[in-house]
Amino acid sequence: MKVLKKIGIGFGIIIAILLIIPLFTKNEYSVVRETVIARPKATVFEYIVLLKNQDNFSVWAQMDKNMKKSHKGTDGQVGFVSAWESANDNVGAGEQEIKKILPGERIDYELRFLKPMKATNQAYLKIESMPGDQTKVMWGFNAKTPYPFNIMLLFFDVEKMIGKDFETGLASLKKILEKK
């Protein structure tokens, strides 16, 4: 009986620790990566404002060539929605909606993930003119992990993982636009 009591107390302490630590752990994170593309700002914006073009440079769009895609609205305009569904858990299912466009400057998106885990996050592409007809492109992502799942942020470097995918995507975008 004493052994069961000690096991119960030990189990209770572990659960308490797993519920207390997330109270003091960050629950938000941001990822931003950038590149410079040797093309004029207008040319870069004209390409990135079209959500369907992300299929050409996004790492996640490249992970499953057989994913099902659907679209609603007019691409390049606020309210356009691009949805996807994949059997690959790294891609999952969800949709992305253009929420705001600052012409020639920035596009804000809402990402609504449905599988493998539900989440709603914000992303953006922002551009700036650089000397010599070059354009700086910044790809950003802001997310919030709900309590008590934010404890996972102690063990996974999400910024580094997503950042690597952004870097790969931006390198592909650079290659595509500089070929034109």
The pLDDT score that the predictor gives to residue 93 is 94
Q: H or E stretch including 93?
A: strand 93-102
Rounded to 5 degrees, φ, ψ at 140 are -125, 160
CA gap 111, 60 in Å, rounded: 13
The pTM (predicted TM-score) of the whole model is 0.84
Q: Higher model confidence: residue 180 or residue 95?
A: 95
CA dist., res. 177 & res. 180, Å (int): 5
Which strands make up the sheet holding 106-115, listed edge to edge? 28-37, 134-144, 119-130, 106-115, 93-102, 81-85, 68-72
| Lowest mean pLDDT across 14-28, 101-115, 137-151 | 14-28
pLDDT digits (tens, 9 = 90+) for 111-169: 999 998 888 999 999 999 999 999 999 999 988 877 787 777 777 777 788 889 999 99
Report whether CATH 3.30.530.20 matches the domain 2-179: yes
Tell me the pLDDT tens digit for each residue of 40-99: 999 999 999 999 999 999 998 888 888 999 999 999 999 999 999 998 888 899 999 999
